[in-house]
Amino acid sequence: MTTTTPPAPPAQPEPPTSSGKPIPASTAAKSALTNRWASAAALLIAILWTIPTFGLLISSFRPENEVKSNGWWNFFSSPSFTLDNYTQVLEGGSGGGGLMTNLVNSVVITIPSVLIPISLATMAAYAFAWMDFKFRDTLFVAVFALQIVPIQVTLVPLLSLYVDPPFDLLPLAGRDAPGGGFYTIWLSHSIFAMPLAIFLLHNFMREIPGELIESARVDGAGHVQIFTRVMLPLMAPAIAAFGIFQFLWVWNDLLVALVFSSPEAAPMTVKLVSLVGQRAEDWQLLASGAFVSLIIPLIVFLALQRYFVRGLLAGSVKG
C-alpha cells in the first residue's frame, strides 16, 4: 500500500488593488496602522498623557488659596486667574531669589554643552567613516563601548581630575565653591555625550553614497573640503536630531549640575530642587517654576522638529 502526500495548498496571492496589481506588504501594514481604530487609540493615549500636564498648567495660574483648597478641575466652574505665581517665581520674594538667574545659567550651560560635542563628534565620525588609519576599527569599538559606562561611576574620578593638577579647574569658579563653574559642566557634558554622538553620526555618514566622495576627490577636494562642503550639508538632519537629544538632556540634568556646579552657576534644575525642599507646600510656585523651565526646550523642539524626524528616519531604509 502506497501513500501519496497531498499537494501543498497554493500560495495566496496578495490582494489586488483597483488597478489589478497586488498591494505591497509595506502598504498593507501602513494602512493597518493608520486606520480609524489605530488613530482613535493614538488620540486617546495623547489625551491621557496630556491631562496631568494641562492640570499643572492651570494650577500655575490659580491663586494660592484656590490651589490648596480644591482641585484644578474646579477652575472651569469658578475660574480664577493670576500672574503672581510667575512673578514670584521669576523675581523672587521673601522666600529667596527668583529663577531668572538660574534660567540664564541653564542657557549658558546648555548651548556650549551641545555645540562642543557636536563639533568634535562630526570630525571624529568623518575620520572613522572615510579615513583609513591604523587601529581605526579597534578605536571605534572602544568609543562604542564607552556608552556602557554609567555616568554615576565617572563622577568622583572626574571631580578628582578637575581638582588636582595639571587641570585644577576649580579656581576658575572659586576654590571655596563645592563644585566647579561653567567650565567643568561644559567638559563633563561633552565627555558624556561624545561616544553616542560619534556612533550616531558615523552610522549616518556611512549611509552617504561613496560615489559623492569619489567625485569630490576626482575634482581635487581634500578631506577638509569634503567634510565642510559635502558632508556637513548632508548631515544637517542627523546633527539636528542629536542636538535636540543633547539639549533636552543637559537642560533637564540635575546630577551633573549638583556635582560640578558652584552656587553662582547653578541651573534651573538645582534651583527647582531647592524650591521643593524649602517650600514644598507652595504647589502653585512649583507648577509655575516647572513651566518656566519648559518654555525654552519646547521652543527648540518645535523649531527643529522637521529636522528631528528626518534625522531619526535617516538610514532606516535603503533604496
Query: Hey, what's the cell of 250?
Result: 543637559
Within 13 Å of residue 154, how many CA atoms lie on the same side as its CB? Answer: 13
CA dihedral 148, 151, 155, 161 (to 10 degrees): 50
pLDDT for residue 112: 93
Distance of CA 3 to the CA centre of its chain: 65
SS (H, E, C) 206-271: HCCCHHHHHHHHHCCCCHHHHHHHHHHHHCHHHHHHHHHHHHHHHHCCCHHHHHHECHHHCCHHHH
pLDDT for residue 19: 52
pLDDT for residue 74: 82
Query: Hey, what's the cell of 193?
Result: 555625550
122: three-class secondary structure by DSSP: helix
Verdict on whether the full-model pTM lies above 0.85: no
Mean per-residue pLDDT pooled into runs of 10, the chain (319 residues): 51 50 57 73 87 85 81 82 83 64 90 93 90 87 86 84 69 46 86 90 85 85 85 86 90 88 84 68 76 85 72 48
List Cβ<8 Å contacts ≥24 apart for 155-161: 155/255, 155/256, 155/259, 158/188, 158/191, 158/260, 159/259, 159/260
Phi, psi torsion values for 16, nearest 5 degrees:
-75, 155
What is the rounded distance in angstroms from the CA atom of residue 148 to the CA atom of residue 150? 6
> Are 241 and 250 contacting, i.e. CB atoms less than 8 angstroms apart?
no
> Are 235 and 315 contacting, i.e. CB atoms less than 8 angstroms apart?
no
Distance of CA 114 to the CA centre of its chain: 10
> Are 201 and 235 contacting, i.e. CB atoms less than 8 angstroms apart?
yes
pLDDT for residue 208: 82
What is the rounded distance in angstroms from the CA atom of residue 110 to the CA atom of residue 182? 10
pLDDT for residue 168: 65
pLDDT for residue 179: 43
Sign of the CA dihedral running 304, 308, 309, 311? positive
What is the rounded distance in angstroms from the CA atom of residue 208 to the CA atom of residue 257? 38
pLDDT for residue 21: 57
